[in-house]
Each structure stands twice: as structure tokens, then as C-alpha cells.
Amino acid sequence: MDDEILQDFLVESEELIANLGQQIVDLEASPEDADLLNAVFRCFHTVKGGAGFLNLEPLVNLCHVAEELCNGLRSHKYALSADMVDALSAAVDQLQAQHAALAAGDAPAAADPALLERLRDLAGASAVSSAAPAASQIDLDNVPDDVDLDALLDQMHGVPASTPSPPAAEVVSPPAGESPSSVAPADSVPAAVASKASPPAKAVESSIRVDTVRLDAVMNLIGELVLARNQLKALGRGSQLGEEATRVSARIDRVTTELQGAVMKIRMQAIRKVFSRFPRIVRDLARSLGKQVSLELHGEDTELDKNLVEALADPLIHLVRNAVDHGIESPEQRRAVGKPEQGTVRLSAAQEGDDIVIRIIDDGAGMDPNRLRAKAVERGVLDQDEAARMDSADCFRIIFMAGFSTRDEVSDVSGRGVGMDVVKNRIDQLNGRIHIDSTLGEGSTMELRLPLTLAIMASLMVRAGQRIFSVPLSNVDDVLMFDPERYTRVDGRWVYRLDDDPVPVLLLGPWCGEYEDVPQRAHMVLLRSGSDRFGLVVDSVIGREEVVIKPLGPPLTDLVGFSGATVTGDGRVALILDPVGMLKSLRSGAIKC
């Protein structure tokens, strides 16, 4: 099999299959939408055509029976039912599994025979052969050399949606006296080969595909350029450059900034890629729970770094599933409190400054802080006194504690006592923050704030002894002068009295072995992770700087309290602190105050 053609098929079919899930859910809401039904049919048909061209029989067989079901709907043989939506959705799942196997270099497994039979039964065509039409299967090895394979594959993938043409599966009877060849289907192979003789005018290509590995390499080079730019700026601040060199430095600074922005934009992907999964997820979950839930999507065109798009998928799925499972009430419960039977989950994304803000809002039951407090005590997650001191905002964050669940019984959906803590850890690893707002009886809002990219980070540079450290600016709450008189010991732990609120403190210099005494003149950087704060005492604060994150080598990978390294403007290596990991280590005693 030609690898290049297979890759073309994988790239094009991936997007088609990804859209199918949402289109099928949309079709259930608008069963009379002929355009949408035709789009679903075309997706199955197009994937089948490409798969047939490559002799991928498992994909062909699955698409063929799904296509037959859609064709019956198009010809009004039957009406769309929830069972049909379930079966078509299951077909998409299997198609995705087959696609993933192909992408991994494995042979795709045959579709579940029970699913194929179910699709045939629903289509009322159990006698239909599972074999695809022979015309869609071509032995690649026997294709003549003079055939334009790209044109042939394009044709097998179907005509563009904007091109008015009869549906591929429809057969139009020729008028009397007219030869059958004049009404041959537009997507037939002979037509594709014939197009070689009189090629249609092709639109000028305005885009190209680039391997993500190459993009990552370019981004790394940009990172090196940013580091060099920072060093040049540092030389300029020290007045070590002449007037002409200063002008050149300023120009390099401007060009580097523009180049960095341009490359970052190339790596940007619309969050639609993640959002497109949710209509299907919400629909299936609501159906399994006996609930009625409407999903609203906003800001699907919001772009963020491709690595963030991939990393966000699992946390978002967990949060949306939680909103449907825990947030939205059953139709009976909603009716009893005067709400419409159908609940609403709203998923939105927007760029606000340097942050991407994602909100999951539901109009469900909301969270009861007193119940959360009581459950935390009951499960031993908090003691009575600690729980009593918590305000409502702190109580909402109890759901992120490891081992906490409000459910008494484990279900397939949730209540396993794990999950939300993993979500928070994942968001923390992405240098993001998560905020909860909830009103009992009215619903809840989960707000996620994430940086645009993971490769370059806004940072506060600090000094302790002879070493320089980088602190993620997203975790910095405030910078204060350190008053040794407020540094005291409470319950065996060193804390700093901040407005009568004891805040745990870590002296960075002694911790890193730079010196041992408590500094008399120092600054305290107040860091926040969620609702938790701690003070980091440093000798001095150098200032804000954009740093390029470099991973630590294997011997340092598990170093507590550090997430990476960077190169400073003067060419020195600075370790990047991990405030979230430091706070956890402070609590567990792995780091001593």
C-alpha cells in the first residue's frame, strides 16, 4: 500500500469521522434537515470510497451498512429513531477505532458483527450484502502508471459539498433515447479516469500541510532565538552596547517578537476539535441517566496551542460529564422546583488577554457548601475544626481533594472517589487555574484559565544567594517586603502572619543550600495554587521576563519543587519553580518550612 496515499486518506478521513459524531447528534435534533442527512450520508460514502480504493475491507463494510441506513432515511422509507442514532453513533466509534489502528500502522479489525446486523435490521435490509460495491475496490498495484492517482483519490472522496450534483447513491433514469453513459454517477471511477483527458481548472492552493514534528523543531529554534534576544537586551541594560548596536538590538527584539507570534499562530488550533466531541458525549450520557440535557457551544473558533488542545480533552470531558451527572437534575426533580424538564449545559471558550478562558456552566441543582463540608468530615478528608473554618468558596474546592465524592455508591459515570483531583492536577500542570462558582438551586460554573502556549512562559525572576530562579507569573499573587518579626512558629510549623492569617513560608535560600540564616532584608513572593497560598522568601526580585521552558534531564526529572529550567538574559541557567508541587510537598512534609 502506498504510504503517501494512505496518509492522505488518514488525514482527510480523520476530519470527516470527527465531524460525523456531532452531525448525527444534530440530526437527531433536526430529523427533517435534508442537508444534514445528506452530509452524514456523504461522510460515510466518502470514507467508504477512500477505504475501498485502498482495499480496507473492514472500513468499507462498516461504512456501507451505515450508508444504507442513511439512504433509507433519505428516501423516506422510515423515520429517524433514537435507536438509529445509537447505532450510527456506535458505527462512528468503531470507525474511529479502525482509523486509529490504521494510523498506528496496524491492520484495522473487522466491525462488530452484531453492530453490522443491527444496522441492517434498522435499515430493513438484512438481505443486503455486507460487501461493498466492487466498483469502489481497486487493486492499487494494477492501476496504470499514467493515471493521476491524486485526481483519482480526490474523485473517490466525493465531490465538494458546494458543487451541486445528485447524491452519489441516487440513480437517475435516463430519458428515453438517451444513452446510459450520459447519466453515469459523478463519483464513478471511469469518470475520474476520464477527467485525466480534460482536467478541470484547479483552484490555486492557498495552504499546505506541515508535519507537527517540523513545527515543533521551528518552535524550539524560536525559543533559542528568544533566549539570545533576552541576552542581548540584558547587555543593552548594562550599557555595554554602543548606539548602533543598541538600535540593532531593538530591531532584533521587534523581529523576534513578531516571529515568535507568527510561529505561535501556526501552531494554533481551534478548540472546535475538542468541543466537537461533546454533543455526542452529552447526548449519550443524558440518555443513559434518563435526563434531558441541551448543550450550547460558544467560541468554538477560539484558538490555542495545539499541545494545549490535546492536553485539555480529558479534563474537559470529565468536567462536562460531571455537569450532566451531578449538576443537571432529573426531569421530575426539575419539574418539582418549577424548572423546565430539559436542563442546559453551556460550554464556552474565549481569549481574555494572554489567557484562554473556558467555562462550563449548568443550570442544575448547584452545590451545597454545608453538604460538601459534612461529607468531607464524614469521609475523613477534613477534620471538624478545619471544615468549620472554610467559607463557601473553599467548600466548593473540596471536590478537588483526592478520595472525595458526594456519591455513596459507585456508578459507571462517577462516584469512584477519583477524577476531579486528577482534573485539577492536569490543569495545574498546564499552568492553568480553575475556579468554581455555584448557587444552590440555580447551577454551577467551572472556569478554567490557561496560557496560550506551553512553550514560552511569563515568569517572575528572583534571586536567592548566588542563584536565580524563575517563578510562573500565573501563580504569583503579590510581592511583599519580608518582615522577620512576623515570621513565627505555629503548631510546629513556620508561618508568616499576613493580616492575622498565618501563611506557610518557605525560605528559598536555606532550602537550596545557599545559606542557613533567616534573611533580615528580603522579599516574600506570595504564591497561590487554587485557594491555597504560601510565601516564598527570596533575597531580591529581578523582574518579569518571558522564559523558554526546557525540560530537566533524567537525573533531575523527579526533583521536588522544580518543573524545568531556562537560560537567563546573562546566559546563566535558572531553575523554574513549581509552586503547585512545592505546596503539596509543604503539606506532606517532603519540604520543611
**Together in a domain, 351 and 274:** yes
Q: What is the mean pLDDT of residues 153-158?
A: 48
> Does residue 177 lie within any of the structural domains?
no
Please write the tens of the pLDDT for every residue from 111-148: 889 988 888 888 875 444 444 444 344 444 444 444 44
Residue 315: which domain range?
270-405+418-446
pLDDT at 186: 38
Q: What is d(CA 355, CA 450) in angstroms, rounded to the nearest whole number? A: 5
| CA 426, 431, 437, 442 torsion-angle sign | negative
More confident residue, 324 or 181: 324
Domain finish residue from 237, 267, 297: 267
Domains in the chain: how many in total? Answer: 4
Q: Is 338 exposed, middle or buried (0-12, 13-18, 19+ CB in 10 A)?
A: exposed
User: What are φ and ψ of residue 452, in 5° steps?
Assistant: -65, -30
245 and 315 assigned to the same domain: no
Phi, psi (rounded to 5 degrees) for 4: -65, -45
Mean pLDDT of all residues in 41-61: 88
Give every CB contact of residue 475 below 8 A, 6+ residues apart in sequence. 431, 527, 528, 529, 579, 580
Higher pLDDT, 480 or 172: 480
**CATH number reported for the structural domain that contains residue 562 in this entry:** 2.40.50.180
- In order of 20, 30, 72, 117, the CA distances from 123 in angstroms are 19, 19, 6, 10
Q: Return the axis-axis angle of helices 149-156 and 3-29, rounded to nearest 10°.
A: 20
Q: Residue 544 pairs with which residues in a beta bridge? A: 460
Residue 464, pLDDT > 50, answer yes
Q: Are residues 259 and 292 in the same domain?
A: no
Q: Which residue from 227, 323, 330, 230 is spatially nearest to 548, judged by alpha carbons? A: 227
For residues 409 and 333, the model is more confident at: 333
pLDDT of 487 above 80:
yes
DSSP state of 463: E
Residues 502, 562, single domain; the answer is yes
For 250, the enclosing helix (H) or strand (E) is helix 243-266
**Domain-embedded: residue 164:** no
CATH for 68: 1.20.120.160
439, 466: one domain: no
Bigger pLDDT: 416 vs 405:
405
Mean of the pLDDT values across residues 429-453?
85
Q: Is residue 81 situated within a structural domain?
A: yes
In a domain, 183, yes or no: no
User: Taking the C-alpha atoms of 265, 267, 271 and 273 in order, what is their torsion angle to the nearest 10 degrees?
Assistant: 140
Answer whether 2's CB lies under 8 Å from 140's CB: yes
What amino acid occupies position 521? R
Backbone angles phi, psi at 262, to 5 degrees: -65, -45
So what's the pLDDT on residue 218? Answer: 84
Query: In this structure, what DSSP letter does residue 143 have?
Result: S
Q: Compute the distance between CA of residue 160 and CA of residue 416 in angstroms, rounded to an integer.
A: 47
303 has pLDDT over 80:
yes
In the chain, count H helices and then E strands: 19, 18
Residue with the bigger pLDDT between 370 and 192: it is: 370
- pLDDT tens-place string over residues 320-351: 998 998 899 999 999 999 999 999 999 999 98
Type of residue numbered 169: A
Q: For the residues 13-39, what does the mean pLDDT come to?
A: 86
Same domain as 552, residue 480: yes
Same domain, 309 and 428: yes
pLDDT digits (tens, 9 = 90+) for 207-264: 777 777 788 788 778 878 887 887 777 777 666 667 777 788 888 888 888 887 788 7
Same domain, 259 and 320: no
pLDDT band at 193 (very low <50, low <70, confident <90, very high): very low
User: Is residue 416 pLDDT above 50, yes or no?
Assistant: no
Q: What is the mean pLDDT of residues 36-41?
A: 90
Residues 358 and 470 occupy one common structural domain: no
Between residues 157 and 204, which one has the greater pLDDT? 204
Between 405 and 35, the higher pLDDT residue: 35
Report if residue 571 sits inside a domain.
yes
CATH number at residue 316: 3.30.565.10
Query: What's phi and psi for 541, nearest 5 deg?
Result: -105, 120
Backbone angles phi, psi at 500, to 5 degrees: 65, 10
pLDDT of res. 240: 61
Question: What is the pLDDT of the chain when averaged over all its residues?
Answer: 78
User: Which domain-ending residue is among 68, 102, 124?
Assistant: 124
pLDDT at 490: 79
Domain shared by 363 and 499, yes or no: no
Lowest mean pLDDT among 137-146, 484-493, 498-507: 137-146
- Say if residue 517 is in the same domain as residue 560: yes
Going across the sheet that includes 456-464, the strands are 540-548, 456-464, 467-472, 573-577, 562-567
Q: What would the mean pLDDT of 38-65 be, rounded to a whole number?
A: 89
pLDDT of residue 406: 64
Give the mean pLDDT of 428-438: 83
CA atoms within 13 A on the CB side of 144: 6
User: Could you tell me what percent of the chain has a pLDDT over 90?
Assistant: 14
Same domain (yes/no): 339, 422: yes
